[in-house]
Amino acid sequence: MPRSSRRVSAAGSILAAVTGPLFAAVSQGHAQGADPEIEAAGDDDVIVVDGASRRGATLSDIEPELVLTEADIAAYGVTTFSELLAIIAAETSSGRGRRQEPPVPLINGRRVAGFRELDNYPVEAIARVEVLPEEVSLEYGFSPNQRVINFILKPNLRIVPLNNRIQSSSDGGSVGQTTNLTNFFVNGERRRSLSGTFTTAPTILETERSITPIDSPEAQRFRALTPELQEWDLGATWSRGFGVGGVATFNGAYDKTESTFRVGQLFSVPGEVALQTRDAENAFLGLSVNSGLSKNTWSFAARVEHDNSQILTDPLLGASPDATEGKRSGTNATADYILNRRLSSSEAGPTTLSATVSVASENQTSVALSGMNRSEIELDRQSASLLASLNRPLDIRRGAYGDIILNANLKVAELSDVGTLISTGAGITWRPVQRVQIIASYNQEEEPRPLDEIAAPRIETPQSEVFDFAQGASVLATVISGDNPDIRSDRRRVAKVSLQVKPWEKREFTLNTDYTTNVIDGEARVFSVLTEAFEQVFPDRVIRDENGALLAFDQRPVRVDTSERNQLRTGINWSKQLKAVRLNPNRRSTRRRSGRPGAIRASVYHRWTLKDEIDLGGGLAPLDLLGGDATSRFGGTPEHAIDATMYRWNNGWGVYASARYRSGTEIQTGADVLEFSDNLNVILSVSYEFNFSDWMLDRFGFLDDTRVTFGVANLLDDVVEVRDANGDVPLAFQPELIDPVGQGWRFELRKRF
């Protein structure tokens, strides 16, 4: 059966099959009440009881939304911190950010210089992971639009893992490989790591998929669906303690990416392939210094980052005879000093003040070349800001009303290219009873756009597939990408109410739900779909010939008057410890887990978008992204998004399954309509650690400290199906163009020395 005709008609049934055991297990009521922190100290397991002085606790009194133990993480079958973050993205995402910013990272409750410090740390170093709401980020010098993820490391570990992963598409045409070697050591506050990663991914050609070309079958052999890719990534970290509980960390990283994409026939030599090559490199140095925990704590973080990128497109047959080139180079230096001070104490708790002073200097230069035409952008920004956040517990009739903490925050920033930006906010955290937490907050923010985005050079990619709604047909046209340096900042208003309930004291069951309304004025938005509404408001972004045929579509960002999104997000997490078989610690393995408990966990997160509208101005009615309008070529905004995961780890076996469901959307414009089907993506992986098999180690000693993983992505090979008003699939929306890989598999071998 061709992929274009494969629809998942029983999405609800499959989701129920994946998530049903969650509700069955909860109803049975067999969950055990233990919530230990399992930390490896050398070769022995240490169980640390969670309490007021718990190691690695954050500065905040707000309860985590999600806690993962060592066994939970083992079931995922991932290798590095960055892979773990990718697989729990549904649990850590926030509806408050402009650009889906990643969560704020902490190590042992302390601030780091950025994700680059811990990108390639091995997951074996983690004792526990805590995911906290956005309000906690204020105490670490960040605006409250990112969740906080706190990694608590094991106190004593030395590990040198070598990891090799092979992955491919089940439809053939692509076998990629990733190899990583890391040397990691931690002993209390002393920590060091050195890691290197090399990744390759071959190209997938149009001729390797069942695609009907817009132009001619002969042209297909000159075009690719995915680029040929090579990546190098190096990173190093060195950390030492000082004074009483203080920690200083230095880290550096360098990565380089090279990709080659076949875009058509070469203009000057017909029969030869025209290429679009992309090269990028980034160098990073960071420093973070954290004081010991006391009445007054402070931290300092500084980073310097330099990056270069270049995109070169050969001239194509039938298009302009000129090659196009875009280059960008930038350097960014920032420094932050954060002071957390306890102003007073009462029966209700301490009154605390968090103050952050930040300074930054950035330079970005970009050059775009097309034949004799040259355009250059050079941008500089110097900035200074002050962020203050005050937490005040209420001490009135505490026994009757529970615990109430008020928060107020203010940020003032002065930028050389934008001027003065002011952000304010307030919130309340209420715990009416022990296992219920309610948070309400409102923030009004003025924020600058990142300078590296603004400086992106103009890039022309000829003969790209575009669906032209004015003509009702798929065409080949030049697509222009880059950015708009005229849009420097926006203004956002965010209101949020969240509820967390842990109904049972001795069962690990948590319900989190939050309602968020997000309004942005003057936002920069990219329209990758050419609708009649967009062309009416921004006619200069569309170039047509005298007959109305589309020649070029400029997809660089435009400023919209207002955008508004209202969203209800609900998550259920359930977990249970499992009894482990006690192993003989005198066997060959150098790192046996004697009696290490296992875990089973399930979670379901449902995001219900209630409103998503954009006012383009120009006298038009706002675009309704839930009701037939769109900014993306992949359709409007799904009303419902469900992410369900279940995993089980015990005695060396780890099984992980996830289901990602997105409801269907449509694009309506004039007499035309495009319907985008529901999509259900199921991932399954199974891993095994040979340390837990005495029989295998007695016979094959080289398998000591070795793990194997086999996984399948997009198990159902489900791809969004697009049909027009006649029920036909437009050529620009063929399933293999939307998702060339489809179902994929991976095999991974991980050896620890």
DSSP codes joined into one string, 275-311: EEEEEEEEEEEEEEEEPPSSSEEEEEEEEEEEEEEEE
- pLDDT for 675 beyond 90: yes
Summarize the confidence of residues 91-95 as an average pLDDT.
75
Q: For the ranges 93-97, 136-140, 653-657, which has the lowest average pLDDT?
A: 93-97
Q: For the ranges 31-35, 330-334, 662-666, 725-729, which has the lowest average pLDDT?
A: 31-35
Other CB atoms within 10 Å distance of the CB of residue 233: 21
Q: For the ranges 23-32, 105-114, 240-249, 526-535, which has the lowest average pLDDT?
A: 23-32
What pLDDT band is residue 353 in, cutting at 50, 70 and 90?
A: very high
What is the pTM assigned to this prediction? 0.86
The reported pLDDT for the residue numbered 143 is 80
The reported pLDDT for the residue numbered 99 is 56
Summarize the confidence of residues 248-263 as an average pLDDT.
95
293 vs 333, more confident: 333
DSSP state of 727: S
3 state DSSP class of 70 = helix
* Contacting residues for 322 by C-beta, under 8 A, at least 6 apart: 315, 370, 371
Task: Give exposure, 143-170, as e/b (b: 16+ Cβ within 10 Å).
Answer: bbbbbbbbbbbbbbbebebebebebbbe
Summarize the confidence of residues 451-459 as an average pLDDT.
90
User: Is residue 630 within 8 Å of 533, Cβ to Cβ?
Assistant: no
d(CA 603, CA 622): 36
What pLDDT band is residue 396 in, cutting at 50, 70 and 90?
A: low
pLDDT, tens digit, for every residue of 464-479? 889 988 888 889 999 9
For residue 358, give both structure tokens: 């930040």
Which is nearest to 276 in space by CA: 467, 557, 479? 479
pLDDT, tens digit, for every residue of 152-163? 999 999 999 999
Burial class of residue 403 (count of CB atoms within 10 Å of its CB; 0-12, 13-18, 19+): middle
For residue 369, give both structure tokens: 């070349």
The reported pLDDT for the residue numbered 163 is 95
d(CA 597, CA 587): 19
The reported pLDDT for the residue numbered 348 is 72
d(CA 617, CA 259): 39
d(CA 58, CA 47): 20
- pLDDT for 10 beyond 70: no
User: Is residue 251 within 8 Å of 235, Cβ to Cβ?
Assistant: yes
Summarize the confidence of residues 702-722 as an average pLDDT.
93
Radius of gyration of the chain (CA): 27
d(CA 172, CA 45): 44
3 state DSSP class of 79 = coil
- pLDDT for 47 beyond 50: no
Tell me, letter by letter, the H, E, C secondary structure of 647-693. Answer: EEEECCEEEEEEEEEECCEEEEECCEEEEECCEEEEEEEEEEEHHHC
The type of residue at 650 is N
Burial class of residue 9 (count of CB atoms within 10 Å of its CB; 0-12, 13-18, 19+): exposed
DSSP codes joined into one string, 199-244: EEE--EEGGGS----SS-HHHHTTBEEE-EEEEEEEEEEEEEEETT
What pLDDT band is residue 347 in, cutting at 50, 70 and 90?
A: confident
Task: Give exposure, 543-580, as e/b (b: 16+ Cβ within 10 Å).
Answer: ebeeeeebebbbbbbbbbebbbbbbebebbbbbbbeeb
The reported pLDDT for the residue numbered 72 is 85
With tokens 């010991």, the residue in question is: 292
The reported pLDDT for the residue numbered 46 is 40
Q: φ and ψ at 117, to 5 degrees?
A: -65, -35
User: Is residue 743 within 8 Å of 717, Cβ to Cβ?
Assistant: yes
d(CA 9, CA 144): 40
Summarize the confidence of residues 559-565 as an average pLDDT.
94
d(CA 113, CA 107): 10
The reported pLDDT for the residue numbered 585 is 52
Strands 104-107 and 148-153: parallel
- pLDDT for 94 beyond 60: yes
The reported pLDDT for the residue numbered 645 is 94
- pLDDT for 345 beyond 90: no
User: Is residue 101 within 8 Å of 114, Cβ to Cβ?
Assistant: no
- pLDDT for 595 beyond 80: no
The reported pLDDT for the residue numbered 92 is 82
What pLDDT band is residue 399 in, cutting at 50, 70 and 90?
A: low
- pLDDT for 34 beyond 70: no
pLDDT, tens digit, for every residue of 186-203? 998 899 999 999 999 999
What pLDDT band is residue 26 in, cutting at 50, 70 and 90?
A: very low
What pLDDT band is residue 581 in, cutting at 50, 70 and 90?
A: low
Which residues make beta-bridge pairs with 645?
603, 658
What pLDDT band is residue 97 in, cutting at 50, 70 and 90?
A: low
d(CA 368, CA 457): 6
For residue 214, is it left (φ>0), alpha (ψ between -120 and 50) or beta? Answer: alpha
What pLDDT band is residue 582 in, cutting at 50, 70 and 90?
A: low
What pLDDT band is residue 584 in, cutting at 50, 70 and 90?
A: low
Strands 744-752 and 419-431: unpaired
Whole-number average pLDDT of the chain: 86
- pLDDT for 128 beyond 50: yes
Q: What is the torsional sign of CA 715, 83, 738, 621?
A: positive
The reported pLDDT for the residue numbered 695 is 83
